[in-house]
Each structure stands twice: as C-alpha cells, then as structure tokens.
A and B are shown apart, each in its own frame.
Chain A
C-alpha cells in the first residue's frame, strides 16, 4: 500500500508541498531496523546460551569421568596393596604352617609306629615266655618290660608331636579367622570408598556443569553471593538453579549428571569357603586333642603293663631262687620232715605264683594286645586324618573360582583373594545442561527464547582396559569425551 502510494505520487515534485515525504519511508526503515536488531539480539543471546549449555555439558561429563577414573585407579591400587597383599601374606604363612605340620605329623607317625612295633615285640616276648614253675628265671619278662618302657617313651614323644601339631592348627585357625575378618572389612571399606568416589565424581560433574553455565554474568552481586551460598549448601546435587531478573522474570538452569555405579564386583576366592575351611581346622584341632589323649593313655597303660612285667620278673626270680635252693635240699634232706615241709612250701608257693602269673600275663596280653587295636585303628586313623586334612586345609586356601558380589556387605561365606574385575552398565558418564530464559513482552515485538539443551558423554576408560584391569592392579584409567558438542 505504502509503495503503491509512493509510486503514484513520485512525480509531484514540482507542484505541491512535498515536505514530510520521507517520513513514512523513515518510519518503515526504522521499524525494519528495529526488528532486525531485535532478531540479532535474540539470535546472539540464544547462541550464547547454547554455547554455555554445550560447555556445561562437556565440562560436567569430562570432569566427572576424570574424577571417576581417579577412583578406579585408586581401586586398582587398593586391590593390590590391601586385598592381594593380605592374601599373599597369609598364603605364605599357611604354607609355612602346612610344611611344618606335615613334618611334625610324619615324626608323630614314626614315633607312633615305633611304639606300636616295640609294644608288639613285647607282646610276643610275653607270650613266648615259659611258665615260671618249676624251671625258674625267665628273661622273657625282662625283655618284654624293657620293650614296653621303650614303647611308652615313644608314645610320649608321639603325643608331644601331636600336641605341637594341634598348636599349629590353632594358629592356622586364627589366620583363617583373621583373613576372613580383615578381607571383608577391607573389601567393605574399598567398596564404600568407590561409592564415595561415585558421589564425589557426580558432585564434580555438577560443579563443572554449573560453573560453565555462564550464570554469574546474568546475576547481580547479591544474586551471585546467593548462588555461591547455594553451591556450598546444596553441594551441586539438586540439579536446578533459578533466579529472577530485574523485571521479576524467572530464569532457570538445569544440570543433570549421571555417573554409573559398579553393579557387581567379581571376587576371586579360595577353593574352600570360610565355614568349610574353619570346620576342617576345628576338626583337626579336636582330632589332635583326641589322638594326643590316646597316646597319653596308651603310654600310661604301657607303663602299667611294664610294671606288671617287672613284678613278674621279680616273681620269676623268687621262683628261680626257691627252686634252686629247694633242689639241693630235696637231694639232701628229702627223707627228713624239714625237707618234706620245704618241698610242700615250694609247691604251695609255685601254685600261688602260677595263679598270679596267669592273671598278670593275661592282663598284660589283653591290655597290650587290645591296646594295639585301639592305637593301630584309632591312632593311625587319627594321624592319617590329620595329615590328609592338613593338606586339604592348605589346598583349600588356594585361589579357585569367582564370587559375584553386588553389595558392599554381600560377601557371604567366602575367603577373599582379591577383586578380579568389576562390572558396570556403562563406562561413560553423561552430563546434560539446560538453559531456560523467559522472553520480553515489552517493546514492539515480544521475544520468546527457546529452551536450549545440550548433552555430552565422556568415558573414564579411555584406553578401553575394562574392569579386569582392577584385577591386574593396572592404574590405566583415564577420561576422554566420547560425545562432545
């Protein structure tokens, strides 16, 4: 309309009053210029906000990934210096105890077998001994007595070795108890520290996200102070900050940082569980005590049998003397009443001693013979059990298998060696930033600013070493933006 009017009247220069002709043109130009300026300002401001959002997202993602990578490097280090070192240390001690215990039990077996052999020899020496009357002195009892005494001494030695073995088992039990307690407590601490690393990486992400959102440039001095106070009070965790400008319009900056948690720890464990290993060692302690008592009882009974045989030797000696004194008497004074009385007394004595001999020999044979059954079956079985169990207990402490733990306290019944690897849903952190600013309704044209949003991702495993690097104690974790703006 305006242009048609202009073209229609453009040739009236000479004739009429043409003052003010430029005014409409200027007016239009001014409007166009103003509109352009407004558009330019809007585009510039949106662009600035977009740049700020991009920077926020990138900085948040990279900072949180970098902090979390530090956490994983620390995890690899703690895995080595705490869990692995404790296992190595205890493994060496277990080997030390196992080899010593094995030598001790071998010695106990030698002493036990020697004792059994000596008792057996004594047993046959008693059985081979001829009756006392009327032939006299029988050295079989003496030999048997000496053998029984030697056998008893061997039993005492075997008992002492078994007691030493029991002490080693006790120490081994303490090692296992201590290992379980120490490793579990250490694992819990390590696991909780990783949760703290995750939280602090998240906080660092928020911090960098907000600090790069260019909020301060939009605030008054008072508002800047309020923002600083909010940062320290909220700890960057609320994810949203709003303020009002001079015309009471609300501006909002949203931040969202996501740091993935460790979903499970794959724990290298020993072959036997804590309960199985502990029960086996408890059984060894009880068996060692029992075998120790068996050897002590056996030694006492052997001493008793030796005592009876000592008595029998004395009886045999008396019988011998009686007989050899009686024989010349018989020859010389057989016809005298005194001689007949002596012979009668000797016969009576022999009859009495014969009965006593029967009793003593029977008891000696019964005790020693059957004792050998107990010692042979019980003692040998006990010693074999101890030797075999000690090897099982040592090998039960070998590295074998993986246990998956999803929570910090969830280690159930395992004896832990080290963290073999960790599993995460993703090895990336994500950071998003959003800027929401209201437009202005004053002026010729009302402006509306679009909400600008930007997201970025960063990995904390730049070299793609994966969760198994924890198990190798490799501190190779580093951060890198994988999806930048």
Chain B
C-alpha cells in the first residue's frame, strides 16, 4: 500500500516537474502558424541588445495571422497587446517580440509578416551607467563637475549620454560651443535657449503659502531648453540638448532649498550606412 502511494506521489511529482520544465522552455518559444515560410532572416546586434528579424510569407489573411499570434503567444507564456496601428507587441521577462502583418498587395498573393525579437534593456542596465564622475568619451569633452546620469549605446551605431550639473544653461551651452571645435566638430545648428514660466495658481492665491513658504515674495519657477547640433566631415553627428529647471523664493531662509538643475543630453550618431 505504502509503495503504491509512494509511486502515485512520485508520478504526480514527475508530471508536475515535466509541466514546469515545459513551461519554462515554452515561454521563450514563438509559435508559428502552419504553412508559414521563412523568407528572410536578419541578425542585428549592438553592444546593448540583440535583435533578430524574420520575414515570413503565408497564404492567410493579416487578420488571421494577428488572431493566431494573439492567442498562441499568450498560451506560450508571453504577455501581449494589440497596438493602435495594428502591430502586436509581446513581452516576457527578458525579451520583447513585435509582430507586424501587412495585407497582401493584390488578391491571391501571400501575406508577408515579420517577427522582431529583441532582448530587453533592463532598469539595472540603465542604473549601472549612473556615476558621480563621468566616464571619458573619446569624441567629445565632458562638462566639468557634472554627474553622469546615463551612458548607453544606441541601437543604430551611436551613444546616448546624460549629465546633471548645477551650472546655468547658458554656461553649459557656452562650454560646448567653445570646446567642441577642439574635437573636430563644427556647429551645424543652434537653437537658442527658450524659457517657459511654471505656473502655480495655488501658490499665488494661498495667503499662508505666500507668507510662510515663500516669505512674502513671489515664488518663481521656469524651465528652459536649448540645443546645439555638431557635425564632423566624416558624417558623424552630435546633438547636445540642455534642459534646466529653476525654482526661486521657496523659503529663502532655508539653505539649499532654492534648487535648480541643468540636464545635459548628448546623442552621438556615427551615421554609418548599414
């Protein structure tokens, strides 16, 4: 009797184990509709993520293909949603899959659909690039006494970097205008700094807030932005965008409370034709 019970429990355990393993492996698989023929395969890889794009053709309507994926991908363990433009987006803990099916050009011709699978950029990857002392970049100067918020590769041969500083937006713009030519960049575009006042109706109308928090003065706030576009003769591009937020007259007697910050965003593009 005991042996029988043990065998039954063992069987249930093994079955459960099998199902679990099957689920783990299934979550990474992308089901394909019957009759789909692989037309092309593209492998793209940046330092940051791997992207694989497959193009298929099939004799089914675009709607049938979408319905198939919407149903089967969920069974395979993917979380998904239909997007407004008809594309389907699925994600697992590690990957993202985009399915796009276009209606055939003329009746009778096969429907083409593409599946793009990409590894996810994790929050940890983004956070890891945050540093008090910025990394040196070979192609441009780093703003002195700034903190690095982000330094990551872009999918298409480029780099995105972000820094924060307490200096004014004008100083930052001047620094890059003066320093970039030393790195063989020439200024190709300059969007002057534009300022937008922050509106806080309750700050103005509330007497207690006015008296106690803003010490009788008018609390002011503004956001500014400006950008510089640099190019090299080699075709490379570097866009520097500077953002600034400034709040003044908030309890002036308290030090460090009148805070402001300037964020520098650098987008570097190698512009290598694929």
Contact = CB atoms under 8 A, between A and B. Distances in A.
Contacts of B83: 395, 398
A409 to B, nearest CB: 15
Interface stretch (B14-22, B58-66, B176-184, B249-257): B249-257
Given A285-B243, A473-B55, A170 B162 contact: yes
A130 interface: no
A371 interface: yes
A373 B267 contact: no
B117 to A, nearest CB: 8
Nearest to A468: B105
A88 B162 CA distance: 25
Interface string B101-131: 0100100000010101010110100110010
Given A182-B269, A300-B254, A93 B213 contact: no
Nearest to B260: A293
Contacts of B203: 374
Nearest to B127: A164
Interface in B43-88: 44, 49, 51, 53, 55, 83-87
A304 B237 CA distance: 48
A99 interface: yes
Nearest to A397: B85
Nearest to A285: B243
Given A95-B96, A290-B223, A373-B206, A80 B40 contact: yes
B28 interface: no
A81 B225 contact: no
A408 interface: no
Given A86-B156, A93-B155, A170-B162, A472 B261 contact: no
Given A174-B158, A285-B263, A290 B96 contact: no
Interface in B181-211: 196, 198, 200, 202-203, 206, 208-209, 211
A261 interface: no
Contacts of B211: 366
Contacts of B84: 395, 398
A286 B112 contact: no
A289 B265 CA distance: 13
B212 interface: yes
A92 B223 contact: no
B265 A85 contact: no
Given A285-B243, A290-B221, A89 B51 contact: yes
Secondary structure type dominating chain A contacts: helix
Interface residues of A, number: 72
Interface stretch (B3-11, B136-144, B146-154): B146-154
30 contacts: A84-B114, A85-B42, A86-B156, A88-B53, A89-B156, A91-B116, A92-B51, A92-B118, A93-B49, A95-B89, A96-B96, A100-B121, A167-B162, A170-B149, A171-B162, A175-B155, A185-B273, A285-B265, A290-B198, A293-B261, A297-B250, A297-B257, A377-B200, A377-B202, A399-B85, A399-B87, A400-B85, A468-B105, A469-B105, A473-B55
- Kindly list the 8 A-B residue pairs having the minimum CB-CB distance in the complex, ordered from nearest: A174-B160, A286-B223, A398-B85, A370-B209, A174-B267, A289-B245, A92-B118, A366-B212
Given A104-B123, A297-B247, A398-B87, 17 more contacts: A89-B118, A91-B87, A95-B89, A96-B96, A170-B150, A174-B154, A177-B269, A181-B269, A282-B225, A289-B244, A290-B221, A293-B259, A300-B256, A399-B86, A469-B105, A472-B105, A472-B112
Interface of B: 40, 42, 44, 49, 51, 53, 55, 83-87, 89, 91, 96, 98, 100, 102, 105, 112, 114, 116, 118, 120-121, 123, 126-127, 130, 149-150, 152, 154-158, 160, 162, 196, 198, 200, 202-203, 206, 208-209, 211-213, 221, 223, 225, 235, 237, 239, 241, 243-245, 247, 250-251, 254, 256-257, 259-261, 263, 265-267, 269, 271, 273-274
